[in-house]
Structure formats: C-alpha cells, structure tokens
Structure 1
Amino acid sequence: MAATKLFQLIAFTALALIASSYGPTPVNALSTPHIHGRHHGVADSMKRNNVLKRDTAKRCKPRPSSSIASAAPTTSASPAPAPTTSSPAPEPTTTTKAATTTQSSSSSGSTSSSSSGTSTTPKGITVNGSSKLAMAWPNGDSTDFAKFSTNVQAYYTWSESCVSTDGGVPCMRMLWNNAADKVAAFKKATSGGPVTGKNIILGFNEVNEPGQANMSPEDACATWKDAIQPLAAKGYTLGAPCSSGNPNGITWMKKFFECCADCTIDFMTVHWYDIDLDNFKSWVQQWHDDFGNRDVMVTEFAVQNFNGGAQRDLGFIMNFHKEAAAWAKTQPWLKALAPFGVMRDMQGVNTANQLMNSDGSLTDLAWQIYNEY
C-alpha cells in the first residue's frame, strides 16, 4: 500500500513538472537585450547620418549682395544676385574705368603640370614681395581703399571694374556670370589687352550656387571660350571659375575641365567658410592636388559656422589666422588669400571676422592679418 502511494506521488510530481514546461515565459526573459541592441543601432545610424549632413552642409550657403552698394555710384553697376539668408558675395557698384596705361605686362610664374584633359600648361601667378594677402573690395571708389591696400598683392571687386582710388594696386577683373550685360561689360573692359597691374582674370563666382553665378559646367565652358579664352593670347593670366565651399564644387569643376579641355586655366580659385584649420588646409590643398598641381588663390574665406553651432570668438579667429598665415607661407603654390570682411555690413557672416570698422578704419583683426599674411 505504501509502495503504491509512493508510486502515485512520484507520478503526480512528474506530471506537474511536465505541465510547468508549457507555462508562460518570465518577463525578465523577453528579448530586452535585442531591443536595446536595435535602439543602439538606430542611434549609431542617426549619429552617422548627422555627421554626413554636417559634412555635406559645410560651405554650401549662397551669399547675397553687399549692402554697401551705396558707397559708389550705381549707374553702371553690375546687378547683384538675389539676396539669400546666408553668407554674402557682394558685387561692387563702381563706375570707374580701368587705367589706360599701355605698358604690356605678361605674368609668368611657376609652371605646373596640366590637369588631365587640359592641353595647355598653366603658367601660374607672379606676385611681388613676400606678402600673400589679396583683398575682396566691395566699397567702390572709397577713399578708405588706401587704408587697406598696404601689403596687398592684388584686389578684386566681384566684377570687371577696378576703382579709381586703388593707387595702382593690381586689380583682378572678374566675369561674374554669363548674363549678357556682364559679358558685354567684361569684353569692353578687357578689349585693349592687359596693362600694368591689370593682367589677371578671375572666372565666374560660385558657379555651383543657385543664389550666385549658378551655371552648368557646359554653359560656363561656352562662355569661357567666348569671353575669357581669347584673353590668353593677349597675355592675360586666367583664374578658373570658382565654386563655393560645397563639396559638389569639386565635381562641377572636373566636368568643366572635361568640356573645356582645350582651355587655358593658369590657376585655381577657392572659397572656404568653416571653423576648423585642418579642414581649411585640406580643402585648399585638394584644389591644388586635384587639378594638375596648379597655383591656388583663396578669394574668399572666413571662420564662420553655417551648421547651426556656436560661432567662434575673436580670440579663436585671431589664432586661426596666425596659424593659417604661417601654413600659407610654406606652400609655394598658394599665391594669395583674400579674407572676407572688408566691409561695414558682414551680410550674415560672424562679425568677429570683420576687417572694417564703422568709420572705415581697420579692426584689430585686420591689423593682425595685414601684418601676418
């Protein structure tokens, strides 16, 4: 009898154990680690995407016209691009004519290998003295020019025009885009051939930006061959079209070189707006390396954050320029740099970059830059 009860107890226990194996899984045994893993993966993906967005957004903001247009007469001004909400690319309103001296001046310099698809050999830029400072001047025939012209290799006005108050500082003429009036004004200004101090040409301004020159590589090539290429035979030194700091500018320029394979491109022009010195160096270096080791001129740059983050203060910017100037002097192919900000209204760019005070004098930053580059 006892043996029978013992057997029944063992059997009942076994059945209970079997039944319990089909019960609900405990909550702490759910796939929480898996959910956490997916969340972690999404977070990593978001971080990578954010980095990509920041990288591709750098230097890609188009710039509106300068509000300093009133500083000069407007009767024959080049029309400015439509204003946008970001950084500026002013166009001058000067009505002055170029000097009429007839002494011929050709530019010769370091010879660099031509880029693939380009048959001509770039002759580079000849500069005088040790300074690598250029100037972007939007203020027309202002007497303030003399305050900023010391130690400057050359200047430009975002147009074909030079200013009567330049005191003989070399003036680089620009064909801003392919608008009929600009092309006509440019051809008129260059019809007599190069003269002393006016023998360098700058190509179109920020061709890859809708708010700026906004040209396809093919349209730019056609206009180049019509209005700029003939100047090579006259002795002008020709600077390539300029893109904004948007990385798509590299792609644009490579397409331009493909469709303008027989064009003369003596040096590259570069724009840069960001906050990191290493980024600045690598960006400028890329334009030298990717396009036949040509000379490079930085025609606009500033320490400016267009990615929604904090702007840098004056101390940071001063240190940036100190180090940038030291680096530039070690690069023989980097011929000149024109920091953005010789104006009273910075057009949305961090005012710590400003080089002109409200009274037309140099800011502390300008004094430093003019002594270091």
Structure 2
Amino acid sequence: MKVSITAFVALALASSSLATPSVKRHGPGKRGLVWPWYNGGLDPGRLNDGQGTVNLIYDYETSAPSSSNGNGGLAFIGMQRCTDCISSPISQLAARQQQLGFTTVFTLNEPDLNGISPQQAADWYKQHINPLAIKKALPAVTSSQNAGQGLDWVQQMVNACSGGCFYDYINIHWYGQSFAQFQSHVNDAHARFPNKKIVVTEFALQNPPGGQADQINFFRQGFAFLDSASFVEMYFPFLATSPSLFQSNDRNGSLFVGTGSTLYNNDGSISAVGQLLLQA
C-alpha cells in the first residue's frame, strides 16, 4: 500500500504519543496557595502551570483574593475565619458563596488560641455553616499539644456538636522543628479522626537556622508525604507571598516562621520553594 510521507509522519507521531502517555503529577487536587490580604501586587497565576500541579487558593476571607490576576485560574476556597467580622460578615456568607461559587468553605482560624470555646464554636457552626450545601471543614487549629488546644480542642468541639455538625474535613496547622514532628502530627490527626479527610492549611518549619535551604529540605519531604497520604485532601505551605511583604505587613508572623518559606521573591518571581511546589 502506498503511503505519503506526510501520512507516515503523522502516523508515527500518533503511535509515539500512544506509546508514551504523559506522566500524571502527584499534586492535582491537593496543592494550594495561602494568600494574605496584602498580596495585591502579586500574581497567583504564576503558580498555575496549566497542568493542575497547584490548583487551589484561599485568603482567610469569603471575598475574592486581592491580586494582580484575581484567583489566577485557581479554585477559590472561601474561609469564614471569624464568627463575624467586617471583612467577612457572617450575614454575607451564603450570598458570597453563591456569588463566587466556591464549593468548599473553611471556618474559624485558630479558635483554640483565640478564646472561642468548643461549645461556642459548635453552636455557631450549627447555625451558620451547616446550612451551606457544600464541602465544609471544622475550624483550623494549631499544632499545640496543650490540653484544650490543637486536636484536643477539635475533639471537644466534635463532642459538643453531639452529632449535629456536618463536616467533611479536619483542618490543621503545623509549625515545628522537623519533618518527623510534622509527619507524626498529621498521622495523629488521622488516627484521632480516621473517618474524615485531613486538610493542612498552614505548615512550615518554625524559623529554622538554615532559612530557605532548611525549608526546602523540609517541604521536599513534606510534599511527598502528603501526596502519598490518601487521607490528606489538600495542603497549603505557608506562605504565598514575598519576604518583603511578609515582613512589612506581618512582622510577628515573619519573626515566628522566618521568610525562607515564602513562595515568591521580592521581585514577584517564583522562589525556590515555589518552584518546588510546582514539581511533581
């Protein structure tokens, strides 16, 4: 049978494509950006490679991220971080969810350190979060091991709910000194709540002596662990900003965490940590 050169080349390319399917990345559905309010000049789209490696973003509010490019093509997750506040009034939660179309909501930010009791949180959650017909996370708690804080606070809230709080995710933060500590804490959350998925919405080493190099080594292990853990639904390294913005707008936070974990450089380009987040 006579075959033209053009047809032969096309057939060869098609066969090559079938023989070597694209490699599936580990990140889709899990990796996201923690986007602070002062990031107006940064572009979240720089961390959107079009392959879904990073595909989520939240900004501690129920309003859209402040940036040079909206949500950068990433899936926005609303967060009612406070019981009621000017930036995210509880009376506007349902309307904002409808307007922005977010399909997951995070709730109270570190109530275990902010004077909100588990009973208060349970009553508030039943009234304002239960009615939303979307995915829901219990309040985000610290990694404190003190009685009445961290995962202990979550358990007390679950008890106070008496089965009346509807939720899909346990939401945790972590700061510490090593990957081993981080892995142990995430596994502990899973052991305590084995029937729920875990979301890790803040995590980094606590101001390590080696700065960015130490954070990179930590995140390299942390990302691989979280990608492989079937019980982890989403994770967000802290923080999607630049060192200068972090220091000038959240001095206490930058002193606590250091600036080595930021995903941007001061010129708005992607940092070495951000490049690591974009790797499979």
Q: TM-score range by the shorter chain?
A: 0.7 to 0.9
Does structure 1 retain, via aligned residues, the 8 Å contact 2:138–2:170? yes
Deviation digits for residues 127-165 of structure 1, max 9, x if unmatched?
A: x97352111001455451211334323111111111371
CA separation in 1, counterparts of 2:237 and 2:214? 15
Does structure 1 retain, via aligned residues, the 8 Å contact 2:105–2:134? yes
CA separation in 2, counterparts of 1:132 and 1:193? 21
Q: Give TM-score scaled by structure 1 length.
A: 0.58
Tell me which residue corresponds to 2:75.
Answer: 170
**Structure 2 vs 1, CA of residues 197 and 335 (structure 1 numbering), >3 Å: closer, same or farther?**
farther
CA separation in 2, counterparts of 1:169 and 1:352? 24
Does structure 2 retain, via aligned residues, the 8 Å contact 1:176–1:182? no
Tell me which residue corresponds to 2:202.
Answer: 300
2:187 alignment partner, SS class: helix
Tell me which residue corresponds to 2:111.
Answer: 207
Tell me which residue corresponds to 2:95.
Answer: 191
CA separation in 2, counterparts of 1:256 and 1:133? 27
Tell me which residue corresponds to 1:74.
Answer: none
Does structure 2 retain, via aligned residues, the 8 Å contact 1:143–1:165? no
Q: Structure 1 residue 179: deviation in Å?
A: 3.1
Q: Structure 1 residue 167: deviation in Å?
A: 4.0
Deviation digits for residues 313-351 of structure 1, max 9, x if unmatched?
A: 433322221122221222111122111122232522222
Q: Structure 1 residue 268: deviation in Å?
A: 0.9
| Root mean square deviation of aligned Cα | 2.4
Whether 2:141 is the aligned partner of 1:240: answer no
CA separation in 2, counterparts of 1:181 and 1:192? 14
Bigger shift: 130-139 or 151-160? 130-139
Which of 184, 191, 195 matches 1:282?
184
Whether 2:168 is the aligned partner of 1:266: answer yes
**Structure 2 vs 1, CA of residues 196 and 159 (structure 1 numbering), >3 Å: closer, same or farther?**
closer
CA separation in 1, counterparts of 2:85 and 2:217? 43
CA separation in 2, counterparts of 1:315 and 1:180? 38
Tell me which residue corresponds to 1:5.
Answer: none
Q: Structure 1 residue 262: deviation in Å?
A: 1.1
**Structure 2 vs 1, CA of residues 197 and 318 (structure 1 numbering), >3 Å: closer, same or farther?**
farther
User: AA paired with 2:263?
Assistant: L
Q: Give TM-score scaled by structure 2 length.
A: 0.75
Whether 2:263 is the aligned partner of 1:365: answer no
User: AA paired with 1:199?
Assistant: T
Deviation digits for residues 156-206 of structure 1, max 9, x if unmatched?
A: 1111111371144211111112235466x2442423755786110001000
Q: After the TM superposition, which residues 90-129 of structure 1 pair with which residues of structure 2 at under 5 Å, given as runs? A: none
Q: How many residues align?
A: 234
Whether 2:157 is the aligned partner of 1:256: answer yes
CA separation in 2, counterparts of 1:195 and 1:295? 27
User: AA paired with 2:31?
Assistant: L
Which of 204, 209, 213 matches 1:315?
213
2:151 alignment partner, SS class: helix
Whether 2:52 is the aligned partner of 1:148: answer no
CA separation in 2, counterparts of 1:249 and 1:328? 20
CA separation in 2, counterparts of 1:292 and 1:195? 34
Q: Structure 1 residue 285: deviation in Å?
A: 1.4
Does structure 1 retain, via aligned residues, the 8 Å contact 2:177–2:205? yes
User: AA paired with 2:109?
Assistant: N
**Structure 2 vs 1, CA of residues 255 and 192 (structure 1 numbering), >3 Å: closer, same or farther?**
same
1:326 alignment partner, SS class: helix
**Structure 2 vs 1, CA of residues 197 and 285 (structure 1 numbering), >3 Å: closer, same or farther?**
farther
CA separation in 1, counterparts of 2:202 and 2:97? 27
**Structure 2 vs 1, CA of residues 170 and 336 (structure 1 numbering), >3 Å: closer, same or farther?**
same
CA separation in 2, counterparts of 1:140 and 1:368? 21
CA separation in 2, counterparts of 1:197 and 1:281? 33
Whether 2:228 is the aligned partner of 1:228: answer no
Tell me which residue corresponds to 1:40.
Answer: none
Which of 242, 254, 258 matches 1:350?
258
Does structure 1 retain, via aligned residues, the 8 Å contact 2:48–2:73? no
CA separation in 2, counterparts of 1:259 and 1:282? 26
Bigger shift: 285-294 or 201-210? 285-294
